[in-house]
Structure 1
Amino acid sequence: MAESAVSFLLDNLTPLLQNEMQLLSNVHGQVRYILDELETIKAFLRVADAKQESNPGLKIWVEQVRDVAYDMEDVVDEFMLHLIYYHDSGFCSFCHRLYYFLRSLKARHRIASDMQLIKSRVNSVSKSYRRFNLDIPRSRSKAYRQLPSQGDARLLEEADLVGIGERKKHLMEWLLNNETGRQVISVVGMGGLGKTTLVNQVYKDPKVRKRFKVHAWITVSRSYKIDDLIEDMVQQIFTVIGKPVPQEVSNMNRDRKRETIKDFLQQSRYLIVLDDVWDVKFWDTIKLALPSSNKYGSRIMVTTRNASCVEIHDKVYNLEPLSPEESWGLLCKKTFQGKPCPSNLEEICHCILNRCGGLPLAIAAISAVLATKDQANIDEWVTLSRTFGPEMGENSRVDNMNRVLSLSLNDLPYYLKSCFMYLSMFPPFQKIETMTLIRLWIAEGFVIEKEGITPEEVAEGYIKELLDRGLIQVAGTTSCGRIKSCKVHDLLREIAIQKSKDQNFGVVVKEQGVTLPDKVRRLSVVKTLHNVQNKNLSRLRSLFVFNAEDSLTEFPKLFPRSLKLLKVLELRGAPIENFPEEVCKLFYLKFLGLKKTKVKHIPRSIKKLQNLETLNLKDSFVTELPVEILSLKRLRHLLVYRYQIESYVHFDSKIGVNAPDGIGCLQSLQKLCFIEGNQENLTELGKLNQLRRLGIVKFRERDGSALCCSIQKLINLRSLSITSEEKTDIIDLQHISSPPQYLQHLYLAGHMETLPQWINSLQNLAKLFLKWSRLKEDPLVHLQHLPNLMHLEFLQVYEGESLHFKAGGFPSLKILGLDKLDALQSVTIDEGAIPHLERLTFQRCKLLKKVPTGIEFLTNLKLLEFFDMPDELIMKLRPDGGEDHSKVAHVSAVYSVYWLGDGWDVFSLERFTERDTSPQPYPEMRSYRRSTLWKV
């Protein structure tokens, strides 16, 4: 992957030569010569990267090229830093200027010397590559074919599940049998067979979800931390029953948490998946939280590469590799999009397929590579086949798969190689937020600018490419289907970690005693920073600290002397209360993450961070920004807010920040959330024509005209959130004559006399939340024809007695929530209305005493929830004689939930199923003591 380092250098340093780079004349010529030579050997590197594993001499040469590129980047960055200090307007005295002039002069001579050495090294590597006799592509720039669109990225895993039908059926029978005791079901097989994918399809099946109301998926992996996994289990269990974790649980030790889990599961039919278990020690620890005496037919599913990792196996399913027929079907599906393999490629495809050993992960990975090749160029396919080397025997299946996966990484376009290896910096237990990842890639300089679109949009394309190639997987989506987080298969992650370490791209430190490379460029530290104290970090570009447990009081000593070239600093969740002012001396810093810290104030010295693009203070305690923030002209994402949950209500109260007047000067801003509204700033917002997301709190009625005028100018706006200062304050947005037509998300919290007419013109609107509106007119009339609306939430929105969903209305709606509609008495759903609805929630509608007329027409409805609804309505839905039960019998999960001030009562209204052998009596609708909550 030296090509990636060289290409990055060329992309980032060439513009400096074209501008007024203040180099000595001879240095300027040396830099130009070095870049030209590296450009010449870049095409050769594409071939060398793929073949270096089988050629030790070639591997050494590739390392030399990469080191030259890294060293040159370091030399130029350090020199530019000296120039910045010299020209800093703060050094106004003659003595200071003289001192920094002399230092700059010394730096100029040093860079001349360094460049002469680098030039000599480039000469050496440039001459030596010819002796390897590799076929060099004719053109300098390889054209990578775009993978055919796979449609919804969430379907990629399902597309790989050739032959899953019988396997899934077998496991489903074990899960849903009539045996009442707890059973452990183990799925055993080597890595890459698709154990996790298979079990995940079973886990998400509606029949399984309907039977096991309490469920959790725990990813273990080789480097697990038992306390983290127990904490994760607690979080998931409380989430699935719709309850925030009580503070007392969070403060419990490991044994007490296990007892809490056990006590709760003892009275529930549960399904717990333990994915990727590596040793029996884990099972010995976790089983203490999973009651074995449960009589409700609970199940534990385990995926493991070693059958001996679980002490007791009630059921064991040995997952075998795909048959030759299944393997061929998967390869054709992924490579040729389901079309037959061209006859001229059949032999070579079978040859390649034999290397995969029937492993779905390997087949999917190599198919993604093949899909980018020119089907008319047989030589390209033959060359790829030779890359594998000789075919190995049955016992070398793992080695073959590692070769295939490595090849899939080597075949990536250079701009994706660094992006993918960057994923190795995140710990395996953490889902990777895609928007955060995109901002990090941009900060690192990995994203190639394209005319007419933003770097963020280019990076979203990178995410899509990695998904289409099967190198990352979707971990979470928003209610509108946008990819919220991603993950990496553990085998691919292991390869990425090893390559990152070998190529000095980055290092992950999780334990004591880890030796860092001499010139480490990216460092990810889990839990503790003790390991990196007094280390040479002068070449570091990115520093991540995850789940820091120890005090960071010594941490600022690393700044700025050691970390002067740092571009990314991510301290999410770190135990710090004060903004480390030393950070403000990091001139190159582009990404600063202080999310979920206890930081309260931002120092005025933040104005020194002239290259800062992302400032993430979400869920911190910052409530005011200094006026110096306006000096950060390159700032693109300013996130300063936190949520304050109001009981169980889906709507959250957002606490924003008081921003200084003049916010309009930050012309690069794309995301601004959440600022307190005042007339000066609301007027200034109209100058931010790059803005994609805007959040405003404490909005006042008198500022309506200023806000409307600004919103009309924000033609690129995708998300808008406005919350009034008080519930009764009016949000007057009627004066918008030309709303942003790309708007996708709209959140309006405040009193409105009428619904703004322009909302029904938002053809791209996907999510609409309305709160405290108190409309007299039925809002559905204006909203039902929005073609792309997928998620709609009402809270105290309408004061009428009835809602009518008419045939053909809301054609794309999937999630609907109706909360505290105090006068609502009836809901009617015509046949053909909201045809794709999957989740329907009613909350605190005290006069609604019957289910919606026509609810039986909602054939796609999977979840029906009733929060604090009248007993009269709930009793009609009882499976043991309720008059309306048949209307909701097709719904997979029906819940009734009661809020008791500090806890929940959760009832499943589908407690009786045909497979239940010991049904529990249906509880009366009454208040329960705290100790009897969560009866699922």
Structure 2
Amino acid sequence: MAETAVFNLLAKFSLFFQREVNLLSGVREEIEYIRDEFERMMAFLRVADSMEENDPELKVWVKQVRDAAYDTEDVLDKFKLNFARNHGTGFCGFVRKISFSVMTLKARYQIAYEVQRIKNRVINISMGHQRYHDRYGILEQGSRSIGVNNAWYDCRGDALLLEEAELVGIEKPKTKLIGWLMEGDPRLKVISVVGMGGLGKTTLVKKVYDDAAIKKHFQIRAWITVSESFKIEELLKSMIHWLFKEVKQPVPQGVETMDWNSLKGIINAFLRQKRYVLVFDDVWDIQAWQVFRYTFPECNCGSRVMLTTRNADLALFSTREYNGYVYDLQPLSPQESWALFCKKTFQENYCPSHLEGLLTSILRRCEGLPLAIVAISGLLSVKDKSSVAEWEKTYQSLGAELEVNNQLLSMKKILSLSYSDLPHYLKLCFLYLSVFPEDHLIEHWRLIWLWIAEGFVEVKEGAPIEQVAEGYLNELVNRSLIQVAKINGKRRIKLYRIHDLWREIIVFKSREQNIVTIASERDTRWPERVRRLSIHDHLEHLQQSKRFIQLRSLLLFSATYSPSMSSMLASLRDLKLLKVLDLSGASLKIFPNEVVKLGHLTYLSLKGTEVKKLPKSIGRLKNLEILDLRHTYVTELPDEILNLQRLRHLLAFRYEEKRNYYSFNNECGFKSPVEIGSLTSLQKLGSIEANHGSGSIVPREIGKLTQLKSLGIIKVRGEDGMALCSSLEKLINLYALYVTATEEDEIIDLESLSSPPRLLQTLFLKGHLEKLPHWIPSLHSLVTVCLRWSKLKDADPLQYLQGLPNLVYLDLVEAYEGEELCFKAGGFQKLKILLLIRLKGLRRVTVMEGAMPHLEELYIENCKLMEELPSCIEQLINLTLLDLFDMSDLLLSKLNRDLPGGDYWRISHIPEVWIGDTKDGRWRGTNM
């Protein structure tokens, strides 16, 4: 973490020296000295970050560096806030500059004093750096074997000794893997088993490896444990010893002194013309895999290579290269978890009735993770089975037990290996997840914006910072450190969550390194300096006596309005260095005026509050980049919003709760200043009203926002078409476009758009279309198309869409008034989700052979003239879900599975079929 703190500080030094600074004599030189010292320490910090867990003295030094970097950053920001002003030019500017210098003389002396104090600290820290450089300097070359801790018992090896009778939930995945290994294809194949640490990947694969059928099928077997800190030569030598031992032959002479290329040659020659199975256990990254990938000869003997990994990217990369398979190992089911826990704790599949409630709670925390279940059951197996209080105490203190109990310590260490393997920029992003309360679902864009506002995301030339942050998030998902909780209908990840036990580890490490301070009734420990404060539960847990003058971030969760909140909001005016303020969901009705005094504020979220109006003073927040007003009652922005020239994301919309999801006027947006085009840094804007102001001025202004990537515009009139099309042609970076007409009969005229944004991935059009825009077929990047209330009368509206090569999601709501839709052969090759809603004239859906081959979900609702299922629906073999709501009685009657000659056979291959209606205003569904 210290490395990231210093990295951010060095970037601030660069900006500081680019500006004219009015400092006392000698102070600039001292700041340059501090910068140079931090630059010298930077090279060693990456090594130190990876080693501090095993060296308490080094850990103290790293903390000193981190704290000094934070304090230096505070000084620079104080200067920026108080002294970096533009006094103008000419004689008047000179006079103002002199006058300002006199008025701020005392403050500049204070800055000089703080700089001197920090310089003295840095000198002492640098002496410690030299001492550690002498001790560890040879390791700065980046050896992967640095920092291996042998002081704890690595119980992963126990997986190789477990009897199959002790295992739970292994039979199904074992059968699947054996089938893949022994299938008849003679080509070399790679099979990857992927999942988070503690899921039992090694245990599963070892049981497959030792199965009698596998032993009989393959001539040669070898098991190679790679691990995080592998050394190439040692692994290759170990592999050679294992292989020659298999055939009871002596190892070739000279192996111990050979380089790794020669070692690979021996392995390759040995395996030729043999049917072999090789297991590489615990492979961490693609670099480790590439050490071995060319060692395997391709002899068309039906050989197989298996690997276990926590890295989904590696699993996909290795199997794709060798026509293989990925097995994504899932957590145990609640029933399997119960069985495993009882077997380990009570030596039978039985739990005393008085402990059942507690056992349910404990297993909920384990979330199907076998390693956690085994470790915690081992801890509780020695507890008094008759004492509910003793079990309750253990459950309540589980987080603390992770740190002190020997049985749980190994589990924590194994899970922590994944954390230790992270690059420095991901470690800080990962620990930052501790700001979210337990079981909180984490919104995709909220997390990305918070990371950016906190300064965690490195700026890379040619890549938008949001894209870099999304890469960070994808890497954490692929490393199985964060779980996908919800994917929206358009196949985009919307929500994430953290495994409960991972969260315990994250909270501990975050507290230890003073990344985040949590205020809740469960956690009352406070560091000397609070930089990021996350308030869980109620504000009563906030220590009102504390002064948070160094606070950079404040986030509230589940905070109700109370005197404590009023007091907390009043204290905001003292938090001069605050950059992040997230009041999402707080019981606020009035915008807190104290907020506008936060000159450093970069991120402000009032999402889900009852705030109705922004003050004109909002324009004072010159550094604001993200303003989230979603699901508030703000319907108009003051002209002063145009002063926020750094604003990149401006979102203000809500959906009317009393209206149906498929109601036309269910979305409320905002009226903007007519010169909204002056906010040229905007990348996300929604939902702005088009009919605000005279003529089509707002649609014309949008054309000036050339950095826009996502645009939501509502209340579009027919006469706005020309101006809107002209603007859209200028938005070459746009990837998401949402357009809604003023009323459902209002025509959206987009025909004059001659050069649509080529990067467009999402197109949402809500309103009457005389015909489908001619330019749609040219948008080969389109993934999502939603057409609502289009009322198309074309003979075949699908002809414009069926050739789109990347279309995954198609949503048609009152979009077509004809009698037939025809999905032609070869069309919609990537379509996975299709919605046909309220197509009231529709009688037939024809699906020709070869159309929609990858369709997974089909929703047909309120198309009551349809009397038959879509033709050839039985050929849609990848269909996993069919939803039929408010359909004709004749169509539904044919789906009775007991009806001779009925249509049930045509949908019998679909795992999930739902049939229902909206009688009495409620959905009634039946899973067939």
With normalisation by structure 1, the TM-score equals 0.71
Residues 459-478 of structure 1 correspond to what in structure 2 (within 5 A)? 459-478=469-488
**Which protein shows a greater Rg?**
2
**What is the match of residue 591 of structure 1?**
603
For residue 792 of structure 1, report the CA deviation from its aligned partner. 0.5
636-645 vs 467-476, greater mean Cα deviation: 467-476
For residue 553 of structure 1, report the CA deviation from its aligned partner. 2.6
Q: Secondary structure at the residue paired with 2:17? A: helix
2:762 maps to 1:739:
no
For residue 905 of structure 1, report the CA deviation from its aligned partner. 2.2
2:621 maps to 1:609:
yes
CA distance in structure 2 between the partners assigned to 1:508 and 1:75 by the alignment: 25
2:426 maps to 1:416:
yes
Q: Residue 472 and residue 616 in structure 1: after superposition, are their counterparts in 2 closer, same or farther (change >3 A)?
A: same
CA distance in structure 2 between the partners assigned to 1:78 and 1:143 by the alignment: 41
Q: Is the 8 A contact 1:431 1:487 kept in 2?
A: yes
**What is the match of residue 198 of structure 2?**
193
2:843 maps to 1:825:
yes
2:585 maps to 1:669:
no
Q: Residue 27 and residue 624 in structure 1: after superposition, are their counterparts in 2 closer, same or farther (change >3 A)?
A: same
**What is the match of residue 852 of structure 1?**
870
398-407 vs 796-805, greater mean Cα deviation: 398-407
**What is the match of residue 204 of structure 1?**
none
For residue 95 of structure 1, report the CA deviation from its aligned partner. 14
With normalisation by structure 2, the TM-score equals 0.72
CA distance in structure 2 between the partners assigned to 1:142 and 1:642 by the alignment: 53
Residues 3-22 of structure 1 correspond to what in structure 2 (within 5 A)? 3-22=3-22
For structure 2, the residue ranges without an aligned partner over 5 or more in a row are 146-163, 175-195, 212-220, 244-278, 293-377, 380-404
- Give 1:854's aligned amino acid: C
Q: Residue 684 and residue 164 in structure 1: after superposition, are their counterparts in 2 closer, same or farther (change >3 A)?
A: farther
Residues 393-404 of structure 1 correspond to what in structure 2 (within 5 A)? 398-404=408-414
**What is the match of residue 47 of structure 1?**
47
2:818 maps to 1:800:
yes
Q: Is the 8 A contact 1:721 1:747 kept in 2?
A: yes
Q: Residue 848 and residue 334 in structure 1: after superposition, are their counterparts in 2 closer, same or farther (change >3 A)?
A: farther
CA distance in structure 1 between the partners assigned to 2:242 and 2:86 by the alignment: 61
**What is the match of residue 554 of structure 1?**
567
**What is the match of residue 711 of structure 2?**
694
CA distance in structure 1 between the partners assigned to 2:123 and 2:561 by the alignment: 48
**What is the match of residue 759 of structure 1?**
776
Q: 1:895 aligns with which of 898, 903, 914?
A: 914
Q: Is the 8 A contact 1:524 1:545 kept in 2?
A: yes
Q: Secondary structure at the residue paired with 1:710? A: helix
For residue 652 of structure 1, report the CA deviation from its aligned partner. 7.8
Q: Residue 373 and residue 791 in structure 1: after superposition, are their counterparts in 2 closer, same or farther (change >3 A)?
A: closer
Q: 1:618 aligns with which of 584, 607, 630?
A: 630
- Give 2:507's aligned amino acid: I
Residues 879-894 of structure 1 correspond to what in structure 2 (within 5 A)? 879-881=897-899, 883-894=902-913
**What is the match of residue 122 of structure 1?**
122
For residue 435 of structure 1, report the CA deviation from its aligned partner. 1.5
CA distance in structure 1 between the partners assigned to 2:241 and 2:461 by the alignment: 40
- Give 1:135's aligned amino acid: Y
Q: CA RMSD in A?
A: 3.9
For residue 410 of structure 1, report the CA deviation from its aligned partner. 3.9
CA distance in structure 1 between the partners assigned to 2:40 and 2:764 by the alignment: 53
For residue 401 of structure 1, report the CA deviation from its aligned partner. 4.1
Deviations 1:122-167 (A, max 9, x none): 11111123333433368799999xxxxxxxxxxxxxxxxxx99995
- Give 1:848's aligned amino acid: M
Residues 220-619 of structure 1 correspond to what in structure 2 (within 5 A)? 343-344=236-237, 367-368=283-284, 371=287, 398-511=408-521, 514-532=524-542, 533-551=544-562, 552-561=565-574, 563-619=575-631
**What is the match of residue 399 of structure 2?**
none
CA distance in structure 1 between the partners assigned to 2:534 and 2:487 by the alignment: 26
Q: Is the 8 A contact 2:16 2:76 kept in 1?
A: no
Q: Which structure carries more relative contact order (alpha carbon 8 Å, separation 6+)?
A: 1
Q: Is the 8 A contact 2:557 2:584 kept in 1?
A: yes
**What is the match of residue 380 of structure 1?**
none
For residue 444 of structure 1, report the CA deviation from its aligned partner. 1.1
Q: Is the 8 A contact 1:50 1:407 kept in 2?
A: no
Q: Residue 96 and residue 82 in structure 1: after superposition, are their counterparts in 2 closer, same or farther (change >3 A)?
A: same
Q: Is the 8 A contact 1:86 1:101 kept in 2?
A: no
Question: Aligned residues: percent identity?
Answer: 44
Q: Secondary structure at the residue paired with 1:605? A: helix
Q: Residue 422 and residue 760 in structure 1: after superposition, are their counterparts in 2 closer, same or farther (change >3 A)?
A: same
Aligned pair count reads 722
Q: Is the 8 A contact 2:61 2:125 kept in 1?
A: yes
**What is the match of residue 720 of structure 1?**
737
CA distance in structure 1 between the partners assigned to 2:780 and 2:614 by the alignment: 40
- Give 2:918's aligned amino acid: W
CA distance in structure 2 between the partners assigned to 1:583 and 1:330 by the alignment: 60
**What is the match of residue 137 of structure 2?**
136
Q: Residue 347 and residue 815 in structure 1: after superposition, are their counterparts in 2 closer, same or farther (change >3 A)?
A: same
Q: Secondary structure at the residue paired with 2:921? A: coil
CA distance in structure 2 between the partners assigned to 1:127 and 1:325 by the alignment: 54
**What is the match of residue 918 of structure 1?**
none
Q: Residue 713 and residue 167 in structure 1: after superposition, are their counterparts in 2 closer, same or farther (change >3 A)?
A: farther
Q: Is the 8 A contact 1:438 1:456 kept in 2?
A: yes
**What is the match of residue 104 of structure 1?**
104
Q: Residue 164 and residue 439 in structure 1: after superposition, are their counterparts in 2 closer, same or farther (change >3 A)?
A: farther
- Give 1:44's aligned amino acid: F
Q: Is the 8 A contact 1:86 1:100 kept in 2?
A: no
Deviations 1:836-889 (A, max 9, x none): 111111111121111111111111111111121111111111122161111111
CA distance in structure 1 between the partners assigned to 2:474 and 2:165 by the alignment: 25
Q: Residue 460 and residue 25 in structure 1: after superposition, are their counterparts in 2 closer, same or farther (change >3 A)?
A: farther
2:868 maps to 1:863:
no
Q: Is the 8 A contact 1:545 1:572 kept in 2?
A: yes
- Give 1:878's aligned amino acid: N
CA distance in structure 2 between the partners assigned to 1:638 and 1:439 by the alignment: 12
Q: Residue 858 and residue 604 in structure 1: after superposition, are their counterparts in 2 closer, same or farther (change >3 A)?
A: same
Q: Secondary structure at the residue paired with 1:134? A: helix
- Give 1:871's aligned amino acid: D
For residue 47 of structure 1, report the CA deviation from its aligned partner. 2.1
**What is the match of residue 65 of structure 1?**
65
CA distance in structure 1 between the partners assigned to 2:773 and 2:546 by the alignment: 60
**What is the match of residue 662 of structure 2?**
649
Q: Is the 8 A contact 1:335 1:370 kept in 2?
A: no
Q: Is the 8 A contact 2:729 2:755 kept in 1?
A: yes
CA distance in structure 2 between the partners assigned to 1:665 and 1:193 by the alignment: 53
Q: Residue 345 and residue 88 in structure 1: after superposition, are their counterparts in 2 closer, same or farther (change >3 A)?
A: farther
- Give 1:343's aligned amino acid: L
**What is the match of residue 750 of structure 1?**
767
For residue 82 of structure 1, report the CA deviation from its aligned partner. 1.2
For residue 400 of structure 1, report the CA deviation from its aligned partner. 3.6
- Give 1:794's aligned amino acid: L
CA distance in structure 1 between the partners assigned to 2:60 and 2:46 by the alignment: 15
For residue 193 of structure 1, report the CA deviation from its aligned partner. 3.3
For structure 1, the residue ranges without an aligned partner over 5 or more in a row are 145-162, 174-190, 199-318, 351-362, 377-392, 911-936
Q: Residue 349 and residue 479 in structure 1: after superposition, are their counterparts in 2 closer, same or farther (change >3 A)?
A: farther
For residue 412 of structure 1, report the CA deviation from its aligned partner. 2.8
For residue 335 of structure 1, report the CA deviation from its aligned partner. 7.7
CA distance in structure 2 between the partners assigned to 1:539 and 1:39 by the alignment: 24
**What is the match of residue 306 of structure 1?**
none
For residue 429 of structure 1, report the CA deviation from its aligned partner. 1.2
- Give 2:857's aligned amino acid: R
For residue 595 of structure 1, report the CA deviation from its aligned partner. 0.7
